Structure 1
Amino acid sequence: MENSPKFVDRMRDISSWPEGDSRSLSTRAKKKYNKCKSAIEDYFTSNATIAEITQRAHISEEYLLQLVEKCLMQAEDGDLWGFRALIPGVDVKDYAAHPAPKEETLRPITAGEDQQNLDH
């Protein structure tokens, strides 16, 4: 069993995560979704090591961690992607607030420029 801080940080309440709609998926795609969902549930809620989880799910550690990252991204609706990120073929994008532009790209508008904009 892993006792490192990384392991402790893994534990999360994922009970309210949005579910992926797997009803229209093929049998093969549903199987993949369920396998990945089970691995993610184990990752966040069990004491199993990453090696144990990946061995059970027949996926690589790298792939598991990619799935974890996708599930934790913010969806366009403001919620976490959650299990929706595991639907095969879904395009997962992170809609988290992006930092403001750097100050050097901003410059004050001079009085002349401001007047020109008002004249148009």
Structure 2
Amino acid sequence: MNLIETSQAIQQGNVSLGIELGSTRIKAVLVTDDFETIASGGYVWENKFENGIWTYSLEEVWEGIQRSYAQIAADIQGKYHTTLTKISAIGVSAMMHGYLAFAENGELLVPFRTWRNNIT
């Protein structure tokens, strides 16, 4: 895609957002329908040992996602002179050795258990 086609795809919402919650960074990419990466963002984080558990706070999860997205939005504005307002799809992946357990009402039941715990 050329610059004009990419800008039109962004304006029409024909882009997808990928988010990865890794063990040392949160990464995000924005791609076009033909899988061209047009922007990316990231946030460095580290798990913390709290009450005998290696964990990440949910507040930091959201902060990392928001900062990563803000970098993408700023990159889109700078490169394509358009505002990112619509996304057709969002995919999320996370570290394979960890989990979040929620109640039906969305309440976190236990702290985020990470790959560093031998109880995970």
| TM-score, scaled relative to structure 1 | 0.22
| TM-score, scaled relative to structure 2 | 0.22
The structure richer in strand per residue is 2
The structure richer in helix per residue is 1
Who wins on radius of gyration, i.e. which is larger?
1
Question: Comparing both chains, which one has the higher relative contact order based on Cα–Cα distances under 8 Å and sequence gaps of 6 or more?
Answer: 2
